[in-house]
Amino acid sequence: MKYITFFLFYFFVLNVFSQNQISLKTEFPSRVKAGSTFDVKIIIEKPNIQNYAVFTQYFPNGFSVEEENSNSAIFKFKKQKLSYTWIRLPDDEKVIIYYKIKTDNKLKGVYKLDGKFIYFANNMKGSIYLDELTINVYQ
């Protein structure tokens, strides 16, 4: 009996998350000059999910972020952490957010930009991480 319960639970979880192919895509330059400002576009594909969600991204010192278009989210950038929080996600299958990044004049090197999208679907928490994002800042 416990195997049947486990199987049903596993099937339910697999079914819920396979139907909702959540993905994150980014558009930004891979190489920028120190002191420059550039645009970033994050595309969140989230079929059938309209609940609470948060997109966060962490930046090394020397990077600052300005809001461009939050797509109804609450924007915050504090202590090198960017967050977009939705109490309820828009109904669209794709949510697109835009922001600007400014780099310090003294930066140089390759920097990693970690991030993730946390969401709730069918009373379960899920998360998806950005692929290994790096940016090369040159003088």
CATH of the domain at 132: 2.60.40.740
Count helices and strands in the chain by DSSP H and E runs: 1, 12
Q: Provide the whole-model pTM.
A: 0.83
Decide which of 100 and 130 is more confident: 100
- The verdict on residue 15 lying in a domain is no
Tokens of 46: 């989230």
Using the predicted structure, report yes or no on whether residue 8 has a pLDDT greater than 50.
no
User: Cβ(57)–Cβ(113) under 8 Å?
Assistant: yes
Q: How buried is residue 88: exposed, middle or buried, by Cβ count under 10 Å (0-12/13-18/19+)? A: exposed
Residue 122's pLDDT band, with cuts at 50, 70 and 90, is confident
Q: Which residue has the higher pLDDT, 1 or 87?
A: 87
Count of structural domains, the chain? 1
**Chain-wide mean pLDDT for the chain?**
88
Domain that holds residue 119: 22-138
The predicted structure's pLDDT at residue 35: 98
Q: Given a cut of 70, is residue 3 above it in pLDDT?
A: no
